[in-house]
């Protein structure tokens, strides 16, 4: 029974750690470097589609991202589109981005819960006087193996048909079709073309995989250290 508890705590700790890493990578990809948005706008010719200057487009972007993070209450941003001063966002934009904001803030809350639960798992292992290095390193590697298989399947799906995966994501997480925009009337979809989202997936995925590999190296080092300690004790 003690071993079951220890390995359950170890596996759970690994899952919570990966959850924290994923959400942190998502946040870093979105907020750490706003020059990424500038480069994407240039890459996809967004300025000509919007008839806006880069300065105004970046201003709208920063305000939108501040809204998603809960740093402003409403999504109403006055700017110059063409020769006209107007609110960049319409009611459909505000409704959909309100739902996106709830998801994003929910993710940040989930990260906090995962951090707390990871610490609880560590305390359980410490109180039970478990072999921390061996259980944590092995648990991480087991969970990573399962996750790697899932990421491989997802990666193949994204590479083959990103649009289908993108559509499925929205159908799962939104119970309406207000995420479907018309470029003729909705400026936001002109600013955020599908290619930008694809590049974001690659950016988040790259950060996440790099973090997983770094943790794998740490787990291997800790695992070997645990083996050396066990052999010394014998």
The domain segmentation of the chain, as residue ranges, is: 2-47+92-233
Would the pTM count as exceeding 0.85? yes
| Rg, Å, the chain Cα set | 22
Beta bridge partners of 78: 87
pLDDT digits (tens, 9 = 90+) for 10-25: 999 999 999 999 999 9
**Phi, psi of 90, deg, nearest 5:** -105, -175
pLDDT digits (tens, 9 = 90+) for 86-136: 999 999 999 999 999 999 999 999 999 999 999 999 999 999 988 888 999
- pLDDT the model gives residue 234: 52
Q: Which of helix, strand or coil describes residue 79?
A: strand
The DSSP call for residue 185 is T
What stretches of the chain show up as alpha helix (H) in DSSP?
Answer: 2-31, 35-43, 46-50, 54-68, 91-127, 132-160, 162-173, 187-191, 194-233
Beta bridge partners of 80: 85
- pLDDT the model gives residue 91: 93
- pLDDT the model gives residue 3: 85
Beta bridge partners of 87: 78
- pLDDT the model gives residue 1: 77
- pLDDT the model gives residue 228: 63
Residues in the chain: 234
Q: How far apart are CA 59 and CA 106, in angstroms?
A: 25
| Buried b or exposed e, range 171-207, using 16+ CB within 10 angstroms | eeeeeeeebebeeeebbbbbbbbeebeebbbebbbeb
Low-confidence ranges of the chain (pLDDT < 70): 226-234
User: Are 143 and 153 in contact, with CB atoms under 8 Å apart?
Assistant: no
Instruction: Specify the long-range contacts of residues 40-45, CB closer than 8 Å, at least 24 apart.
Output: 40/195, 40/196, 40/199, 41/191, 43/195, 43/199, 44/193, 44/195, 44/196
């Amino acid at each position: 029974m003690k071993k079951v508890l220890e390995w359950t705590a170890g596996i759970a700790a690994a899952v919570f750690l990966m959850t924290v890493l994923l959400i942190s990578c998502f946040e870093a990809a979105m907020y750490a470097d706003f020059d990424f948005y500038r480069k994407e706008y240039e890459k996809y010719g967004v300025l000509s589609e919007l008839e806006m200057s880069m300065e105004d487009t970046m201003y709208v972007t920063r305000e939108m991202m501040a809204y998603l993070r809960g740093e402003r209450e409403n999504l109403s941003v006055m700017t110059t589109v063409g020769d006209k001063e107007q609110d960049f966002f319409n009611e459909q934009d505000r409704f959909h981005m309100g739902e996106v904001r709830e998801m994003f803030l929910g993710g940040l809350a989930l990260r906090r819960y995962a951090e707390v639960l990871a610490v609880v798992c560590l305390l359980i292992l410490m109180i039970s006087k478990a072999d921390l290095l061996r259980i944590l390193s092995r648990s991480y590697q087991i969970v990573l193996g399962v996750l790697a298989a899932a990421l491989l399947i997802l990666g193949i799906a994204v590479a083959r048909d990103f649009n289908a995966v993108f559509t499925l994501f929205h159908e799962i997480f939104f119970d309406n079709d207000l995420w479907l925009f018309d470029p003729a009337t909705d400026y936001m979809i002109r600013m955020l073309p599908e290619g930008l989202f694809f590049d974001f997936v690659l950016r988040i995925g790259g950060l996440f995989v790099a973090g997983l590999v770094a943790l794998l190296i740490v787990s291997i080092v800790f695992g070997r250290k645990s083996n050396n300690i066990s052999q010394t004790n014998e």
